[in-house]
Structure 1
Amino acid sequence: MTDNTQLRDKEHLILQQINSGNDDVQKITAATTLENHHVTYAFQKLEEHGLIEVSKPDGMVERVIDGQKRVFQHPKQAELTEKGEQYLQHSEPEDLDDYENLSHRELVQRIHQLEQDMAELQQSFQTFRKQVQNHLER
């Protein structure tokens, strides 16, 4: 990968997820709206570019998923290479769609925050409107 090559949004997101500790396919799919095959494909491409190293640990893993305890084969795991770390440090975040890759929980939280912000703005606007009307009536 040359310095002027840009990653697709999904690949950039996956690098960010790996950097933040979500280092295997299942953790990334749980934290985003990406599907297993998207993450697996991105792992392959990122590894070809030397940005990550992918391994398939032996054995089983036990995790709580959607409130249920599950045991399954350990998913593919990735680790950033030095080149991957440098890429993240020097890459400008692209105009990623802020909502496309959020989990359901993150979307709900974002909507609640936006609704609260909107209510505050509406209240502020009503107050401002009254102030302007009072000023014009003088």
Structure 2
Amino acid sequence: MTEPELRDKEQIILQQIRSGNDDVQKITSETTLENHHVTYAFQKLEQHGLLTVSKPDGTVERVIEGQKRVFQHPKQAQLTEKGQQYLEHSERTDLDEYENLSHSELVEKTHELENRVEELERKFEVFRDQVQKLI
């Protein structure tokens, strides 16, 4: 299967749809993506045949940040068979990257990832301290 070139945003959206977040609002609330990014990605993914997109009529009621809100039903997407296959293939490809490493390469990769996590944790602590000082 020839896979389309997708950006990280589009891959995240496919994964979100598979996990049940199937409309623009649900995806934006679960990710850092904005409405226009998701809407554009819906169009692109639909052109590639990975999604079917619809705009249900009516309104939807949801609790957002503790408040009940009613708004026009957002665009909704569903994975096509091709979209399912794309996700399965990309996950196998990600695993293949690690399966082909030797033991010493895996150990090195693990240490590298552990160091990155530690660095991110330190940066997050600094960020959290800065936010708490501003509050």
Band of TM-score, shorter chain = 0.5 to 0.7
Under a length normalisation based on structure 2, what TM-score does the superposition of the two structures give?
0.67
Over residues 22-75 of structure 1, what are the superposed CA-to-partner deviations in whole Å (9 max), with x where a residue is unaligned?
Answer: 000000000000000000000000000000000000111000001110000000
Moved over 4 A (4+): none
Structure 2 residue 81 is the aligned partner of structure 1 residue 89: no
Deviation of residue 18 (structure 1)?
0.3
Under a length normalisation based on structure 1, what TM-score does the superposition of the two structures give?
0.65
Match for residue 52 of structure 2?
Answer: 53
SS of the residue aligned with 1:89? helix
State the AA in 1 paired with 2:68.
K
Higher relative contact order (CA 8 A, sep 6+): 1
Structure 2 residue 25 is the aligned partner of structure 1 residue 26: yes
CA contact (8 A) 2:17 2:77 kept: yes
- Supply the distance in 2 between the matched residues of 1:25 and 1:84 (Cα, whole angstroms): 17
What is the 5 A alignment of 1:1-138? 3-91=2-90, 92-93=93-94, 114=121
CA contact (8 A) 2:22 2:77 kept: yes
Deviation of residue 5 (structure 1)?
3.0
Larger gyration radius, structure 1 or structure 2: 1
State the AA in 1 paired with 2:54.
S
Deviation of residue 6 (structure 1)?
2.3
Deviation of residue 3 (structure 1)?
1.5
CA contact (8 A) 2:17 2:79 kept: yes
Q: Tell me how large the CA RMSD over aligned residues is.
A: 2.2
CA contact (8 A) 2:3 2:86 kept: no
Ranges in structure 2 where 5+ consecutive residues have no aligned partner: 95-116, 123-135
Match for residue 103 of structure 1?
Answer: none
State the AA in 2 paired with 1:50.
G
Report the structure, 1 or 2, having the larger helix content.
Answer: 2
State the AA in 2 paired with 1:17.
Q
